[in-house]
C-alpha cells in the first residue's frame, strides 16, 4: 500500500467531475470499481471498509475492524504532525443517519485512529438529516444537490474555532511533505 499521498492533478482531475480547479485533493491508493477484493490491495481494503453493519458479529467482521485500523495508520504515516496540529478533521458522513441500524461510524473511527495519542481536533460537523442510497450499491448515484440537501452542519460541534482559524488564518500549512492551501 502507498505510504505517500498523491495529489489529484490536471491529468486525473477529469476522473473527478465535482472537483473545481482550485480544489486540492489527495489520496492514498487507487480503488477500481466493480473489480472485487482480489483486484488490488486498495480494492481489498475499501471492500472490507464497506462491509455492511448487518455483518457485525460474523467471522468476516474482523476484516472491517482491521481495515479501519489500517486506514488510520496509513493516514498517520502520510500526514505530518505539524499539519495535524493546525487542522480540524471532519469525517465525511456515511449514507445513513446516526441512530439508524445501518449507520456506520467507520470514518470517525479512522480519524480517531489517525489521531490516537495526539491532541487532534476531530469533529463530526456534517451529519445526515435523512438516509440516502449507498452509492456503491445502486446504478444511479444520489445527485450532489440531493446529497447536500441530506446533510446539515451540527453547530453544537462548531465551537471553539478551529486551531487554524485561531492561528491567524494561515494561508498554507504542511501536508506531509507537500503544501496544502486552505480553501476559503
The helix-helix angle for 41-49 and 61-78 (nearest 10°) equals 120
In this structure, of 49-63, 124-138, 159-173, the range with the lowest mean pLDDT score is 159-173
Do residues 45 and 71 make contact, with C-beta atoms less than 8 angstroms apart? yes
Q: How many helices (H) and strands (E) does the chain have?
A: 6, 8
Would you place residue 9 in the very low, low, confident or very high pLDDT band (cuts 50, 70, 90)? very high
Q: What's the whole-number average pLDDT of the chain? A: 85
Task: Tell me what pLDDT residue 136 has.
Answer: 64
- The model's confidence at residue 165, banded by pLDDT at 50, 70 and 90, is low
Q: Say how far residue 60 (Cα) sits from the centre of its chain.
A: 23
- Whether residue 170 is predicted with pLDDT greater than 60 in this model: the reply is no
SS3 label, residue 75? helix
69: pLDDT strictly greater than 90? yes
pLDDT tens per residue across span 39-68: 788 899 999 999 999 999 999 999 999 999
| pLDDT tens per residue across span 146-162 | 888 999 999 999 888 88
Query: So where are the chain's domains?
Result: 6-181
The percentage of residues in the chain with a pLDDT greater than 90, rounded to a whole number, is 58
Q: Which residues have CB under 8 Å from 91's CB, separation 6+?
A: 107, 108, 110, 111, 122, 124
pLDDT score of 183: 39
Higher pLDDT, 22 or 168: 22
Residue 181 confidence (pLDDT) above 50: no
Cβ-contact 124, 153 below 8 angstroms: no
Helix (H) or strand (E) holding 42: helix 41-49
Instruction: Give me the mean pLDDT over the 123-149 stretch.
Output: 84
- Quote the CA–CA distance of 7 and 31 in Å, as a whole number: 15
Q: How do 121-122 and 88-89 pair as beta strands?
A: parallel
pLDDT-based confidence at residue 138 (cuts at 50, 70, 90):
low
Amino acid at each position: 500500500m502507498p505510504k505517500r499521498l498523491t495529489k489529484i492533478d490536471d491529468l486525473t482531475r477529469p476522473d473527478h467531475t465535482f472537483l473545481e480547479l482550485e480544489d486540492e485533493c489527495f489520496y492514498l491508493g487507487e480503488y477500481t470499481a466493480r473489480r472485487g477484493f482480489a483486484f488490488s490491495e486498495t480494492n481489498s481494503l475499501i471492500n472490507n471498509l464497506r462491509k455492511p453493519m448487518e455483518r457485525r458479529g460474523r467471522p468476516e467482521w474482523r476484516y472491517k475492524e482491521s481495515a479501519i485500523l489500517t486506514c488510520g495508520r496509513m493516514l498517520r504515516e502520510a500526514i505530518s504532525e505539524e499539519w495535524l496540529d493546525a487542522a480540524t478533521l471532519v469525517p465525511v458522513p456515511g449514507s445513513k443517519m446516526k441512530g439508524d441500524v445501518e449507520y456506520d461510524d467507520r470514518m470517525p473511527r479512522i480519524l480517531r485512529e489517525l489521531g490516537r495519542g495526539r491532541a487532534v481536533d476531530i469533529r463530526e460537523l456534517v451529519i445526515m438529516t435523512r438516509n440516502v442510497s449507498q452509492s456503491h450499491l445502486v446504478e444511479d448515484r444520489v445527485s450532489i444537490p440531493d446529497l447536500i440537501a441530506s446533510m446539515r452542519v451540527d453547530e453544537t460541534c462548531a465551537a471553539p474555532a478551529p486551531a487554524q482559524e485561531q492561528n491567524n488564518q494561515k494561508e498554507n500549512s504542511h501536508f506531509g511533505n507537500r503544501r496544502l492551501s486552505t480553501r476559503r
